[in-house]
């Protein structure tokens, strides 16, 4: 369908998980005999939302250490809790909880970075979501690995084991410039070329990160990555809050992508990323929630709205990041960043039927003059009624009070979360 088009009284025809036609409803009877039909007269159908930066398992730490800035949050709260509790079961349970939240909010794909990625894969495939798995690399020991070489070896083995999974794709995920050495980054660069996969990393999230890099290396983190050969069109840079003009030009020159995480950046007082300026330079920008531990919602409707409003407020230009642009950031731009634009991100013939239905009849949504504007500035994830991944219905909300998942029971996921809450609460209180 045409870029940004709104088609009324149309149907999407799906066969074997793929979109085979987008046509007027009046043409259906002459062209097809439906095995199954879903009539949604009060809805708008959009591409499944793509969450471009997550740490899904950290949903189990939602609200555990709020109102703290980034480095104290990590060093005094999150990292000690992870040392105590993170395990394959923690990663599976936390990811399952996040996947349920994301599916219910119309998210069909997430770009993750966390320990025990095999557990993340298992949880995502259990619930039926599309996941881009970041194979995390750090220099220091965690419950997952003891050094950078072990992170790389385990990540490579997991990629080899699951590379044929239809819903799974991969990147290497050096955690951040301040947690990975030049030698390790050089090793990752070689493997990225050999395995033909991308890179997902935190980049220039705080001013402290930038000034520390300049003190240690005489370079900004972005310039350091460029000198090591690690910038390319396969690289997703999360945050990018503090960018000089030279930094922005590096992103342009190498064709990197930005995962903009506005709510997390505000909550941790990291700052407001110069998204309007980056967009004007032609940089591809997607949207991420970051983790539920630092947001505290995996809510792409909230992030779209925040993205558009912050861009206007920071730039002083009310036309910066329109509603349509914010919607594209949450869909096709995220797909491009992950190298998945041939599969998902728009409603087009030949792509996978990753779709989200949003009901617009709620009295709080009336009147509606512009659907894209309504999706970004008015509607919320509570108005999502159906989420499909590969043509399979994974989430359905039959009424105002209940949501049904195709492969998990909500009360079971809640019980799992409560069990971890008791353990983590005792730790935090100690």
* Other CB atoms within 10 Å distance of the CB of residue 18: 15
Per-residue pLDDT of the chain (430 residues; tens, 9 = 90+): 557 789 999 999 999 999 999 999 999 989 999 899 999 999 999 999 999 999 999 999 999 889 988 888 888 888 899 999 999 999 999 999 999 999 999 999 999 999 999 999 999 999 999 999 999 999 999 999 999 999 999 999 999 999 999 999 999 999 999 999 999 999 999 999 999 999 999 999 999 999 999 999 999 999 999 999 999 999 999 999 999 999 999 999 999 999 999 999 999 999 999 999 999 999 999 999 999 999 999 999 999 999 999 999 999 999 999 999 999 999 999 999 999 999 999 999 999 999 999 999 999 999 999 999 999 999 999 999 999 999 999 999 987 777 899 989 999 999 999 999 999 988 876 5
Expressed as residue numbers, the domain containing 23 is: 10-44+345-398
Residue 58 tokens, joined: 């950290």
The per-residue pLDDT for 1 is 53
Alpha carbon 334 to its chain's center: 8
Q: Are residues 256 and 392 in the same domain?
A: no
Peptide bond into 263 cis (omega under 30): no
Three-class secondary structure assignment of 342-365:
CCCCCCCCCCECCEEEEECCCHHH
Do residues 307 and 329 touch, judged by C-beta distance below 8 A? yes
Question: Is the pTM for the entire model greater than 0.85?
Answer: yes
Q: Are residues 296 and 234 in the same domain?
A: yes
How far is 221 from 237, CA to CA, in rounded Å? 11
Q: Which CA distances in Å does 368 have to 156, 223, 228, 360, 374?
A: 49, 46, 50, 8, 7
Whether residue 427 is contained in a domain is answered as: no
Q: Are residues 378 and 238 in the same domain?
A: no
Q: Are residues 222 and 359 in the same domain?
A: no
Alpha carbon 336 to its chain's center: 13
Whether residue 428 is contained in a domain is answered as: no
Tens digits of per-residue pLDDT, 82-95? 999 999 999 999 99
Q: Are residues 29 and 56 in the same domain?
A: no
Q: Which stretch of DSSP H or E encloses residue 279?
A: helix 275-280
Q: Which long-range contacts (CB under 8 A, 24 or more apart) does 276-280 make?
A: 276/311, 276/312, 276/314, 276/315, 276/317, 276/320, 276/321, 277/248, 277/315, 278/240, 278/243, 278/248, 278/251, 279/311, 279/320, 279/321, 279/325
Rg over alpha carbons for the chain, rounded to the nearest Å, is 21
Residue 273 tokens, joined: 């990323």
Whether residue 370 is contained in a domain is answered as: yes
The per-residue pLDDT for 228 is 97
Whether residue 292 is contained in a domain is answered as: yes
The per-residue pLDDT for 70 is 82
The per-residue pLDDT for 92 is 98
- Phi-psi category of 91—alpha, beta or left, where left has phi over 0 and alpha has psi -120 to 50? alpha
Whether residue 102 is contained in a domain is answered as: yes
Count of all residues that appear for the chain in the document: 430
Q: Are residues 360 and 274 in the same domain?
A: no
> Among 317, 337, 357, where does a domain finish?
337
Query: What are the backbone angles phi and psi of residue 26, rounded to the nearest 5°?
Result: -65, -15
Bridge pairing between strands 198-203 and 257-260: unpaired
Q: Are residues 23 and 103 in the same domain?
A: no
Q: Are residues 171 and 238 in the same domain?
A: yes
Q: Are residues 89 and 225 in the same domain?
A: yes
The per-residue pLDDT for 430 is 57
- Whose tokens are 């709020």? That residue is 66
How far is 270 from 61, CA to CA, in rounded Å? 20
Total number of domains in the chain: 2
Whether residue 415 is contained in a domain is answered as: no
Q: Are residues 233 and 206 in the same domain?
A: yes
* Other CB atoms within 10 Å distance of the CB of residue 385: 19
Whether residue 357 is contained in a domain is answered as: yes
> Among 297, 312, 337, where does a domain finish?
337
Q: The domain that contains 250 carries what CATH number?
A: 3.20.20.140
Q: Are residues 301 and 324 in the same domain?
A: yes
The per-residue pLDDT for 5 is 84
How far is 315 from 333, CA to CA, in rounded Å? 21
> Among 293, 312, 337, where does a domain finish?
337
Do residues 100 and 126 touch, judged by C-beta distance below 8 A? no
Q: Are residues 74 and 25 in the same domain?
A: no
Whether residue 408 is contained in a domain is answered as: no
Q: The domain that contains 389 carries what CATH number?
A: 2.30.40.10
How far is 326 from 334, CA to CA, in rounded Å? 11
């Amino acid at each position: 369908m045409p870029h940004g088009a709104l088609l009324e009284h149309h149907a999407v025809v799906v066969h074997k998980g793929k979109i085979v036609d987008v046509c007027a409803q009046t043409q259906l009877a002459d062209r097809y005999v439906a095995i199954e039909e879903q009539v949604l007269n009060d809805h708008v159908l959009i591409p499944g939302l793509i969450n471009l930066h997550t740490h899904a398992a950290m949903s189990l730490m939602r609200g555990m250490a709020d109102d703290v800035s980034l480095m104290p949050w990590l060093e005094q709260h999150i990292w000690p809790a992870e040392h105590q509790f993170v395990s394959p079961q923690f990663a599976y349970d936390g990811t399952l909880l996040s996947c349920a939240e994301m599916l219910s909010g119309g998210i069909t794909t997430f770009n993750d970075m966390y320990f025990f990625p095999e557990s993340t894969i298992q949880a995502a495939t259990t619930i039926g979501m599309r996941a881009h798995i970041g194979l995390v690399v750090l220099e220091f020991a965690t419950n997952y690995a003891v050094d950078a070489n072990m992170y790389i070896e385990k990540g490579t083995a997991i990629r080899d084991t699951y590379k044929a999974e239809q819903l799974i794709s991969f990147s290497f995920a050096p955690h951040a410039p301040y947690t990975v050495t030049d030698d390790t980054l050089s090793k990752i660069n070689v493997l990225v070329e050999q395995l033909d996969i991308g890179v997902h990393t935190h980049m220039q999230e705080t001013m402290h990160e930038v000034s520390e890099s300049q003190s240690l290396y005489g370079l900004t983190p972005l310039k350091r990555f460029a000198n090591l050969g690690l910038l390319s069109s396969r690289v997703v840079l999360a945050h990018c809050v503090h960018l000089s003009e030279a930094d922005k030009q590096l992103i342009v020159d190498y064709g990197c992508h930005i995962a903009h995480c506005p709510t997390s950046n505000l909550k941790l007082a990291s700052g407001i990323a110069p998204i309007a300026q980056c967009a004007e330079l032609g940089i591809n920008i997607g949207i991420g929630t970051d983790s539920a531990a630092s947001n505290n919602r995996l809510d792409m409707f909230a992030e779209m709205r925040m993205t558009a409003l912050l861009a206007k407020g920071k730039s002083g230009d009310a036309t910066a990041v329109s509603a349509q642009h914010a919607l594209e950031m949450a869909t096709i731009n995220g797909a491009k960043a992950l190298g998945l634009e041939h599969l998902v991100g728009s409603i087009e013939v030949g792509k996978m039927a990753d779709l989200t239905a949003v009901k617009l009849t709620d009295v709080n949504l009336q009147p509606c003059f512009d659907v894209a504007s309504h999706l970004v500035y008015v509607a919320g994830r509570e108005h999502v009624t159906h989420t499909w991944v590969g043509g399979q219905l994974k989430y359905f909300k039959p009424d105002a009070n209940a949501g049904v998942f195709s492969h998990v029971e909500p009360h079971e996921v809640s019980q799992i979360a409560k069990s971890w809450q008791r353990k983590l609460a005792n730790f935090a209180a100690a």
